Structure 1
């Protein structure tokens, strides 16, 4: 599959799941599809505490238990809701996330910036209606100038979808053996 088709396929899948996603949310998606969770974990004890706290304090969750990110590698966003609903154990979730965090991409920051600029051009020329495109594009250029690459979801995304997930490699995701359930709304409230 060509580079452009790969970009458009993942972007269209994201648009179907999250139609209110902003450009910075697409950036995060492609960043995760390139670097996985390795950028996220530097202190394993803090990571377990943070996940445990998020699990116990969160009452609203996006309904999809996982989302496949098929870009440079295959990764999955695995929703903490699967743990909250006792579909998988906290220990299995954390162990899979920890093992996944050992993934290291060989893409340099300079290569990533260039690649993202190509992705952004493809998204801009696409038929997808991505809110706040120019504003987010300027924001991303500023963070690149400051040598920052890891960002949070947009406020619109967090408010609309309540994302509570971690990134897993395909191998670790398959070990979880999550069965998808269907819900009719974006938010699952406990």
Structure 2
């Protein structure tokens, strides 16, 4: 069974999770306009497609499709983080190392990245993204969460994926990548 048109599958799709350094923060929602601006700027400079996204108070889950000739994930993530942080004050606590490097201490270092392998993996991670606000106790249904691309997908006629899709085969590797 195929949940999305085959033309939407791209072998250069990746699932990402970015987190703020302070897991109790709601900065991403309070500054959603800055986040959207940072995302648009990053898209303009380094093209990619956002296939799915959910912005939680201190976490962003997303699936990106990259161009066939460009797999520079780290630069895109670094640019997004930097553009979002640029006009914000530093975090209340920064380590001496962060201060020395001129880091604001807003983001957790690195990011979680998983290359998607096939349509089932894509549908599973899309479900993870769209159900994450429900799992976090922020709303009752994925459609209740305004900071998600679920509304765009439903308007396009794509079905809502189940909260826990089929398991990802063990041979697929997931990595936390440091910037």
TM-score, normalization: structure 1?
0.30
Structure with the bigger percentage of strand: 2
Q: Which has the higher contact order (CA 8 A, sep 6+)?
A: 1
Structure number with higher helix proportion: 1
User: TM-score, normalization: structure 2?
Assistant: 0.31
